[in-house]
Amino acid sequence: MADFSWEVRSPLDRALVAGSYGAQGDAGVSLTEIRNFDLVQVMARRGKAGEMAKAAQARFGIAAPETPKAVDIADATMIWSGPDQFLVLSKGGKHTIEALAPVFVGSASLSDQSHARALIGISGEKARAMLAKLSSIDLHPDVFGVGAAAATSMDHTSVTLWRGGDHDGQAVFNLLVFATFAESLWHTILDSAAEYGVTIGHSEELA
Amino acid sequence: MRIICPFCGERELGEFTYLGDAKPQRPAADAGEDAVYDYVYLRDNIAGVMSEHWYHGGGCRTWLKVTRNTLTHEISAVEPAAGAGAAKVGA
Amino acid sequence: MRGDQANRLNNGGLIDRSIALNFRFDGKTLFGFKGDTLASALVANGVKLVGRSFKYHRPRGILTAGSEEPNALVELRSGARREPNTKATTAELYEGLEAASQNRWPSLNFDVMSVNQLFAPIFVAGFYYKTFMWPAKFWEAIYEPAIRRAAGLGRAAQVSDPDHYDKVWAHCDVVIAGSGPAGLAAALAAARCGARVILCEEDFVLGGRLLADSGMIDGLPAAEWVARAVAELSAMPDVRIMTRTTLFGVYDGGTYGAIERVNDHLPTPPEHQVRQRLWRIVAKRCVVAAGAIERPIVFAGNDTPGVMMASAMRSYINRYAATPARRIALFTNNEDGWRTAETAIAAGLQVAAVIDARPDVSPAHRSLASKGGFPVLHGAVADVDGGKGGVRKISVSLTGGARAEVEADGLAVSGGWNPAVGLTSYHRGRPKWRDDIAAFVPDGAPPGMVAAGAANGSFGLGACLREGFEAGAAAARDAGRSGNAGSMPVADDEAFSITPLWHVAGKGKAFVDQQHDVTASDVELAQREGFQSVEHLKRYTTLGMATDQGKTSNVAGLAIMAAVSGKSIPETGTTIYRPPYVPVAIGAFAGHHRDENFHATRLTPSHHWAAEQGAIFIDTGLWKRAQWYPRTGEKDWLESVTREVKAVRGGVGFCDVSTLGKIDVHGPDAGAFLDRVYINAFSSLAVGKARYGLMLREDGIVYDDGTTSRLAEDHYFLTTTTAKAGLVMQHLEFCRQVLFPELDVQLTSVSDQWAQFSIAGPRTRDLLKEVVDPAEDLSNEGFPFMGAREVRLRGGLKARLFRISFSGEMAFEISVPARYGEAMARNLMIAGKPFGLTPYGTEALGVMRIEKGHVAGPELNGTTTAGDLGLGKMMSTKKDFIGRVMAGREALVAPNRQVVVGIKPTDKARRLRSGAHIIPKGETPGPDNDQGYVTSVCFSPVLDQWIGLGLVERGRERIGEIVRAHDPLRGEDYDVELCNSVFYDPDGGRQRG
C-alpha cells in the first residue's frame, strides 16, 4: 500500500524566488506571499443580511463590513467582497468553513475559498507607483486609507485588494488573487516592480 | 467611460460588461411565443437616454441598471438589479 | 567646448555648453550640446536640407520647432530600434544619436525620384484614385509596390522592438496640458488651493513659449519666474510634474490619455526601465493650456529649405543659440511676427527686410526698421528662389502691384496663430471662428475641461497668466478644494493685430500641407471637382492626414477652400478632430501585454507536475492544458495520443479537468433556480447524485452543458465547460439578480478552489481503492453511476468524488482542494503504478468523447438546438426554463435540421478532416446541395480508423447512407458513411459497470 503525503503547494510555489529582483540598491517594493490561511466566503441569504450581520457580530465581536472595508480582529480579518457578503481570512484553523458553518446557519451561505486564492502583501516606498500600473483605482492615502478594501481587477484578473495596518510607517497592501491566475499576475507584478527594485519573500502565516 | 457602482464607487469601463436594454421584462411562463419573441429580439435602438444592463464582473459581480445617454455617454443614474446582494424580502 | 558649429551663437540659450554630444546625420558626424533637439543641433551645424518630400521628393528643411513639424522627419536609431518619421524638432539630442533622412535615393542631395516634380501634373489631388484604376490585376503586382517604394515615409524596423513599455493609471483633481504661462499659472492656483495636480508638458523643459520669447512676469524676467513657479510646485506633495509627456486625448468620464517618453532621450533605456509609458489619467477637471501653433502663409516656393516659422526661428535663436540664417527676411501679416526681427537684431543677425501684408506698421516697429537699417515692404512674398541649397532670393509683390526682390538666406513666416483646439474638440466639438484674431477658438469643451491662454485665443502674456490662474483656481474649487489660490501672476499684454492672409497667388508650387505634398492648386482642383465638404476635401487631397495631422496646414487649407467656393471660413467649417494629438507608438498601447504576456495565463493545479512529465501544452482560452504526454521513441503526437487512449480503454488513465468552471449554488431555492436555467429538472435530483444538464440561451439555442451534483439539500455543485466558465457565471448572476430576484439562491465561483481529475478505465476502481480510505464503499451499489459525495482519502484528506464519465469507461472525477492538486497527481502515479496508470491530455480526452458521441465546443457552436444534439428529450415539459418558448419555434424544430451524426470514411485508410462539407452522392457541390459539415474528427484507436461527428441534414434518419465529404479548401472529395454518433460501447455498459 502506497504511503501518501499530502504536500501543500501554494500556487506561487514555483514562481516565487525569494531574494531580490530588478534594479539594484534599496528595494522600492517588497512582496511577501502568505501561504497558510483559511478563507471563507460568507454571503447573506435573501433578506437575511441583518441576521448575517448579527451572527458575525456574535462570532467576531465586531460588525462585519457593509461597505468596501477590511476589519481586523485578533485572529481574523473580515473583508468586504460585494453587497451583503464578505470574506473571513484567518489562520490557525480557528475560522474554517467547518467552524463557521454553525454560526451562519440559516442566515448565510458559505463557500470555502482557502485554496482558491493566493495572498500577496505589497509594501515599500514604491508600492503605490507599482500598483498604479496594475490597478485602475485611486490608492492615494486620502482616498484609500488603512482598512479600505476593493473588489477590483488587475491585469484583467479579479482581485480583492485592501490596505492593512501600516508597517514601519509604510502602507501595506494585501492582494487576494485567484489561484490559477496567480503565477501570471505574479510575473506581471515583477515586471511592473522591476524598475524600483524588489525584495521577495514568503511567510507561512498571516502576520 | 466610468460607471459609479452603487457598492464599489466609481470604476473604469474595463471592469464592466455591457448587456443591453434593461427595459424589456422577461414574460411570464404562459405569455406565449409572441411576447417572448418581442422580449428576445425586439429592441429599441435609442439615440439618447436609455436604461441598460451592465455587469460589474471585474468588481463586486453585481448587475446594474445604468441610465446612459448613448449620444454623449453621460450617465445620469446607476442602480443595482432587484436581486443584487441579499435583496430584502418584500422590498 | 567644440567650436565648429558654424551657426551656434557664442552666448545664450538653454543649452549646456559643457556637455558636447556627438551625433550622426546621414552618416556624417556632427555635434551639439545637451539641451539641443536634433533639429536645433542641425541648425547649429548649418544643415538646412533634412529630407525629401512625400510625393515630389522636393528638398525640405526644418519648418518649426515643435511637435507640429511636417518636414524634418528622420529615421532615428538603427536596427531593431529604428524609428521612422521621428520629428527632429522634438527628438532630444543624446550622445551617439544616429539619424537618417527619409524618402531619398540614393542620397539626400541627389535624389532620383525628384524627377516626380517634372510629372507634377499627374500627382494632383485624387491622383491615386484617378491613375491606378485599371487593369485591376496590376494593382497588387505593379502599382502598389512601385508606389510604396516611391512614396511613403520612413522605413519601420523589421524586427521586434527590444524595449519595454508600460501603462499606468493616475488620479487627480486637475490635469493641465502645457506648462507655458497659462499652464504654470493654472498649476499654481490649483495646487495652492489644495488640489491634486498633474502637469503634463510635452517638451523636456517647462515654460512653453517663455523658453523662446522672453517677457517680464511679476517684475521678474520670465525665466526666473518659471524657475520660481516650478520650485513652488515641486515642493508640493500632491503635484506631479511630467515633462516629455503629451496629453493626447480625452475620453468619457474625465479620463485622459498621455504618452510619456520616459527614455527616448537616451540611446537605450537603462536596465529595468521602460522606453515609453502610457498614462491613463482620471481627473475631475482639465485645463488645456496647450498654447497655439503659428501658421504658415501659402506662397510659391514656401517649402524651400530656409523658410521657417517666425516663432520657430526665435526658438532656435533664443532657446538654442542656433541661427537658422545669417540674413533673415520676415514675412508677416500680424504684429507678433515682428518679434523675430527684434530677436534677429538682438542676436546680431542681419534683417534683410520685413514684408508685412498689413497696411500699417506700428511706429515702434518703424523705428526698429530704421535703426536696424532694413526696409519694410508692404505686400506679400510671391516666390522664393532657392532649391536644395536653401533660400537665396525672395520676390515680393508690393501692395499696388510693383515687385521687389530681397536677398536673404532665411525667410521667417508668420501667418498668425491657431489655438491648439485638439483636446477641446475631441468630443465632436466644433471650434468657433474669431475674426479679431482670424483663428478658430474652442467653443465649449468636453465635460470638466476648459481652455486657457493661447489655447483659448488669448495671446497676450498677461491674459495667459490671468486665464490660466483663474481656470486653475476654478478647477480646484469644482473638484472640491477650498484653499487659497494666493496672488495671481501679472504681466503686460502685447498688442496683437492681424490682417488675414492665407495664400499668395503666383506661379510655382505653393504648399498647404508640406508633409503630404498638398498644394493650393490641389485644394482648388478638389473644389472644382465637387469635393465641397471639408471632410471630402481632406480625404480626396489627403490634406491633414499625415503624421502631423495637419497642425500647420488644416486651417490654411480650409481658408483656401472657403475662398474658392465663395464662402466664409466659419461657413466652410473644420473637419472633426480626433485623438491622438501626437502619434503614439502601438507598443505603448500594448504595454506589458505582448509576446507571452499578451494575455493573462491560467495554470491548472497540476501544471508543474505535468511539465515535469514533459507534457505538451495547448492554449485553451487563457489556460495552458496538457495536450498529450509524449514518451521517448514516439514519432508523433498521434502515436502518443493513441497510446493514451488505449491505456485508458484497456487499463486506467487520469486527466486534470480542473479547467471546467465550477460554481457553488447555495440556498433554499437552489433547485428551483437550476430548474429555470437548465432544460431538465434539478430540484428532483437526490442529494448525493449528479446529473448532466443543458442550458439554452433565451432564443432556444444551446448555451452550455455540464454535470451538476447535489451535495446537500441547499447546495449544488455546478460545472460548466472550460470555454464558457466566466460567461456562465455572468449569465447565472443575471438570472439570479435580474430575472429571478424572488429566489433565495447564492452563487460563488469555486473554479480555483478545487483540483479536479478524471480517472477513467476498467481498472479505475482498483486504483481508487488505493487512494480512497478503505472505509469508503466504491462498489456499484455503494457508489452507483452518477453518484456524487464527499469521501475521505488515505492520509485523511477530504475529497469529493463524482461517478461521471466523459470517456465511456468506468470513471470517477475526484476533487481535492487546489493546493493538494499536485500531490494528488503524484499520489495517483504512485498508487497507479501496478495498474499502468497513464496520464492523458486533452487530445485523448477529445478522442474518447468523439468515440462516445459526446458533443463539445464544435457542436455547441451557437447554432444548434438540444434536438440537433440529440438531447431534445431532456427538455422538460413540466416547467418553464430559459429558452423554452423560443426553442419551440417552427424553424428550430423543423425535420430537415442539421443534426449530430457519426461520420466515417468508407475507405478505412482515409483521413477525415473537420470542415468538410456533406454533399449527397451524385450531386454537384454547391450551396444548394450542402447538407452540413464535419464538426469534430479523430483517429479512433478502437475502430482503427478516422471517425468524426458532423451536423448533417436529417442525419439521424440517414444512418448507413453514403455521402460525399467535399473539402474544397484542401482539395479533397471522398465518400463517407453516416452512422450512429456513439461509436463505442453504444449501450453504455462499460461506464455503468
Contacts of C251 in chain B (CB under 8 A): 1
With 80 as the cut, is the pLDDT of residue A182 above it? yes
Verify whether the Cβ–Cβ distance A45 to C744 is below 8 Å.
yes
| Residue of chain C nearest B87, judged by CA positions | C741
State the Cα–Cα distance between residues C540 and C559, nearest whole angstrom: 17
Verify whether the Cβ–Cβ distance A6 to C274 is below 8 Å.
no
With 70 as the cut, is the pLDDT of residue C468 above it? yes
Contacts of A81 in chain B (CB under 8 A): 60
Q: Which residue has the cell 481632406?
A: C538
Using DSSP bridges, classify how beta strands C653-656 and C838-839 pair: parallel, antiparallel or unpaired.
Answer: parallel
Rounded mean pLDDT of C142-158? 70
The region, left, alpha or beta by phi > 0 then psi within -120 to 50, assigned to residue C296 is beta
Rounded mean pLDDT of A114-143? 97
Rounded mean pLDDT of B13-34? 95
Q: What is the pLDDT of residue C145?
A: 66
On whether residue A3 sits in a domain, the answer given is no
| Residue C288 shares a structural domain with residue C331 | no
On whether residue C865 sits in a domain, the answer given is no
| Residue C759 shares a structural domain with residue C744 | no
Per DSSP (E only), the strands in C614-740 are 616-620, 623-628, 653-656, 661-666, 690-696, 702-712, 715-720
Å between C719 CA and nearest CA of chain A: 15
Quick check: C7 and C44 in contact, CB under 8 A? yes
Q: Answer positive or negative: Cα dihedral of C372, C374, C377, C382.
A: negative
| Residue A102 shares a structural domain with residue A131 | no
How many CB atoms are closer than 10 A to CB C40?
30
On whether residue C18 sits in a domain, the answer given is yes
| Residue A102 shares a structural domain with residue A172 | no
Contacts of C728 in chain B (CB under 8 A): none
Verify whether the Cβ–Cβ distance C280 to A10 is below 8 Å.
no
**C799-835 confidence digits (pLDDT tens):** 999 999 999 999 999 999 999 999 999 999 999 999 9
State the Cα–Cα distance between residues B85 and C188, nearest whole angstrom: 45
| Closest listed residue to residue A119, CA positions, set A206, A193, A43 | A206
| Residue C625 shares a structural domain with residue C773 | yes
With 70 as the cut, is the pLDDT of residue C119 above it? no
| Residue A143 shares a structural domain with residue A196 | yes
**CA distances to C534, C633, C695, C897 from C885, in Å:** 53, 56, 14, 18
Q: What is the pLDDT of residue C1?
A: 42
For C64, phi then psi, to 5°, come to: -130, -175
On whether residue C566 sits in a domain, the answer given is no
Q: What is the pLDDT of residue B91?
A: 42
On whether residue A8 sits in a domain, the answer given is no
Q: How distant is the alpha carbon of residue C673 from its chain centre?
A: 41
Å between A141 CA and nearest CA of chain B: 16
* Three cell numbers, residue C515: 508633409
On whether residue A170 sits in a domain, the answer given is yes
Q: What is the CATH number of the domain that holds C767?
A: 3.30.1360.120
With 90 as the cut, is the pLDDT of residue C589 above it? yes
Verify whether the Cβ–Cβ distance C733 to B17 is below 8 Å.
no
| Residue C409 shares a structural domain with residue C423 | no
* Three cell numbers, residue C328: 533673415
Using DSSP bridges, classify how beta strands C449-451 and C439-441 pair: parallel, antiparallel or unpaired.
Answer: unpaired
On whether residue C109 sits in a domain, the answer given is yes
| Residue C642 shares a structural domain with residue C668 | no
| Residue A95 shares a structural domain with residue A129 | no
Verify whether the Cβ–Cβ distance B87 to C741 is below 8 Å.
yes
Verify whether the Cβ–Cβ distance C738 to B1 is below 8 Å.
no
Run of H or E residues at B9: strand B9-12
On whether residue A13 sits in a domain, the answer given is no
| Residue of chain B nearest C889, judged by CA positions | B33
| Residue C223 shares a structural domain with residue C362 | no
| Residue A175 shares a structural domain with residue A93 | no
Contacts of C748 in chain A (CB under 8 A): 41, 43, 109, 111, 113
Verify whether the Cβ–Cβ distance B55 to C733 is below 8 Å.
yes
At residue B90 the predicted structure's pLDDT band, cuts being 50, 70 and 90, is very low
| Residue C3 shares a structural domain with residue C148 | yes
Q: Which of A112, A135, A158 is the last residue of a domain?
A: A112
On whether residue C665 sits in a domain, the answer given is yes
| Closest listed residue to residue C280, CA positions, set C651, C580, C573, C730 | C580
With 70 as the cut, is the pLDDT of residue C121 above it? no
Q: What is the pLDDT of residue C9?
A: 95
Å between C873 CA and nearest CA of chain B: 20
Q: Which residue has the cell 468523439?
A: C850
Q: Which carries the bigger pLDDT value, residue C153 or residue C534?
A: C534
Q: What is the CATH number of the domain that holds A135?
A: 3.30.1360.120
| Residue A148 shares a structural domain with residue A178 | yes
Q: What is the pLDDT of residue C382?
A: 93
* Three cell numbers, residue C797: 484528506
Pick from B1, B13, B36 the residue to mutate for testing the C interface (most C CBs within 10 Å).
Answer: B36
State the Cα–Cα distance between residues C472 and C184, nearest whole angstrom: 9
- Quote the domain boundaries for residue C733: 661-749
Contacts of B84 in chain A (CB under 8 A): 83
Pick from C256, C612, C752 the residue to mutate for testing the A interface (most A CBs within 10 Å).
Answer: C752
| Residue A70 shares a structural domain with residue A150 | no
| Residue A93 shares a structural domain with residue A50 | yes
**C508-550 confidence digits (pLDDT tens):** 999 999 999 999 999 999 999 999 889 999 999 999 988 889 9
DSSP codes of every residue in C407-429: E-SEEEEE--EEE--HHHHTTT-
**CA distances to C269, C271, C591, C971 from C162, in Å:** 10, 12, 13, 42
| Closest listed residue to residue A70, CA positions, set A169, A182, A140, A151 | A151
DSSP-derived letter for residue C928 is: G
CB neighbour list of residue B28: distance below 8 Å, 6 or more residues apart = none
Verify whether the Cβ–Cβ distance A4 to C820 is below 8 Å.
no
Verify whether the Cβ–Cβ distance C820 to A8 is below 8 Å.
yes
Rounded mean pLDDT of C965-987? 96
Which range (C132-146, C504-518, C645-659, C784-798) has the least confidence?
C132-146
Q: What is the pLDDT of residue A176?
A: 98
Contacts of B41 in chain C (CB under 8 A): 699
Among the partner-chain residues B12, B15, B89, the one whose CB lies closest to the CB of A46 is B89
Which 3 state secondary structure label does DSSP give C605?
coil
Run of H or E residues at C639: helix C637-650
Q: What is the pLDDT of residue C120?
A: 66
On whether residue A1 sits in a domain, the answer given is no
In this structure, the dihedral spanned by the alpha carbons of residues C357, C362, C365 and C371, taken in order and rounded to 10 degrees, is 120
CB-count exposure of residue C766 (10 Å: 0-12, 13-18, 19+): middle
Domains (range + CATH), chain B: 2-80 (3.30.2270.10)
Q: Does a cis peptide bond (omega within 30 degrees of 0) precede residue C447?
A: no
State chain A's maximal CA–CA distance in angstroms. Answer: 61
On whether residue C185 sits in a domain, the answer given is yes
Contacts of A109 in chain C (CB under 8 A): 664, 666-667, 714-715, 746, 748
State the Cα–Cα distance between residues C417 and C209, nearest whole angstrom: 13
Å between B31 CA and nearest CA of chain C: 9
Partners of residue B21 on adjacent β-strands:
B52
On whether residue C491 sits in a domain, the answer given is no
At residue C156 the predicted structure's pLDDT band, cuts being 50, 70 and 90, is confident
| Residue A24 shares a structural domain with residue A59 | no
Among the partner-chain residues B9, B12, B62, the one whose CB lies closest to the CB of A83 is B62
| Residue C41 shares a structural domain with residue C115 | yes
DSSP-derived letter for residue A65 is: P
| Residue C327 shares a structural domain with residue C223 | no
Q: What is the CATH number of the domain that holds C336?
A: 3.50.50.60
Q: Which residue has the cell 428576445?
A: B40
Which 3 state secondary structure label does DSSP give C116?
helix
**C711-741 confidence digits (pLDDT tens):** 999 999 999 999 999 999 999 999 999 999 9
Q: Which of A85, A112, A139 is the last residue of a domain?
A: A112
Among the partner-chain residues A46, A47, A82, the one whose CB lies closest to the CB of B61 is A82
Neighbours of chain B (3+ CB pairs under 8 A): A, C
| Residue C122 shares a structural domain with residue C13 | yes
Contacts of C280 in chain B (CB under 8 A): 12
| Residue C97 shares a structural domain with residue C177 | no
**Does C110 touch chain B if contact means CB atoms closer than 8 Å?**
no
Q: What is the CATH number of the domain that holds C903?
A: 2.40.30.110
- Quote the domain boundaries for residue A108: 38-112
Rounded mean pLDDT of A169-179? 97
On whether residue A102 sits in a domain, the answer given is yes
**C436-460 confidence digits (pLDDT tens):** 999 999 999 999 999 999 999 999 9
Pick from C729, C745, C885 the residue to mutate for testing the B interface (most B CBs within 10 Å).
Answer: C885
The region, left, alpha or beta by phi > 0 then psi within -120 to 50, assigned to residue B61 is left
With 80 as the cut, is the pLDDT of residue C116 above it? no
Contacts of A111 in chain C (CB under 8 A): 664, 666, 748, 750, 753
Which 3 state secondary structure label does DSSP give C31?
strand
CA atoms within 13 A on the CB side of A174: 27
| Residue A192 shares a structural domain with residue A144 | yes
Q: What is the pTM of this model?
A: 0.94
Q: What is the pLDDT of residue A5?
A: 87
**Does A188 touch chain B if contact means CB atoms closer than 8 Å?**
no
| Residue C132 shares a structural domain with residue C5 | yes
Q: At what angle do helices C764-771 and C821-832 cross, to 10 degrees?
A: 120
| Residue of chain B nearest A52, judged by CA positions | B86
Quick check: C310 and C294 in contact, CB under 8 A? yes
On whether residue C34 sits in a domain, the answer given is yes
State the Cα–Cα distance between residues C699 and C953, nearest whole angstrom: 21
Instruction: Look at chain C and report how many structural domains it folds into.
Output: 6
| Residue of chain C nearest A186, judged by CA positions | C600
Quick check: C288 and C41 in contact, CB under 8 A? no
CB-count exposure of residue C33 (10 Å: 0-12, 13-18, 19+): buried
Q: What is the pLDDT of residue C941?
A: 97
| Residue of chain A nearest C623, judged by CA positions | A180
Verify whether the Cβ–Cβ distance C741 to B19 is below 8 Å.
no
Among the partner-chain residues B58, B62, B85, the one whose CB lies closest to the CB of A158 is B58
| Residue A169 shares a structural domain with residue A91 | no
| Residue A25 shares a structural domain with residue A119 | yes
**Does A125 touch chain C if contact means CB atoms closer than 8 Å?**
no
Verify whether the Cβ–Cβ distance C282 to A138 is below 8 Å.
yes
| Residue of chain A nearest C237, judged by CA positions | A140
DSSP-derived letter for residue C597 is: G
On whether residue A87 sits in a domain, the answer given is yes
Q: What is the CATH number of the domain that holds A60?
A: 3.30.70.1520
Cβ-Cβ pairs closer than 8 A, A with C, add up to 162
With 90 as the cut, is the pLDDT of residue C887 above it? yes
End-to-end CA distance of chain C: 93
Q: Say whether the ipTM exceeds 0.90.
A: yes
On whether residue A9 sits in a domain, the answer given is no
**Does C731 touch chain B if contact means CB atoms closer than 8 Å?**
no
**Does C733 touch chain A if contact means CB atoms closer than 8 Å?**
no
Counting residues of chain C whose pLDDT is more than 90, the rounded percentage is 89
Which 3 state secondary structure label does DSSP give C682?
coil
Contacts of C258 in chain A (CB under 8 A): none
State the Cα–Cα distance between residues C708 and C689, nearest whole angstrom: 9
DSSP-derived letter for residue C753 is: T
Pick from A41, A66, A136 the residue to mutate for testing the B interface (most B CBs within 10 Å).
Answer: A136
Q: How distant is the alpha carbon of residue C544 from its chain centre?
A: 22
DSSP codes of every residue in C521-558: HHHHHHHHTT--SHHHHHHHH-TT-STTTTTTTHHHHH
CB-count exposure of residue C492 (10 Å: 0-12, 13-18, 19+): exposed
Instruction: Look at chain A and report how many structural domains it folds into.
Output: 2
**Does A156 touch chain C if contact means CB atoms closer than 8 Å?**
yes
Quick check: C973 and C966 in contact, CB under 8 A? yes
Å between C582 CA and nearest CA of chain B: 22
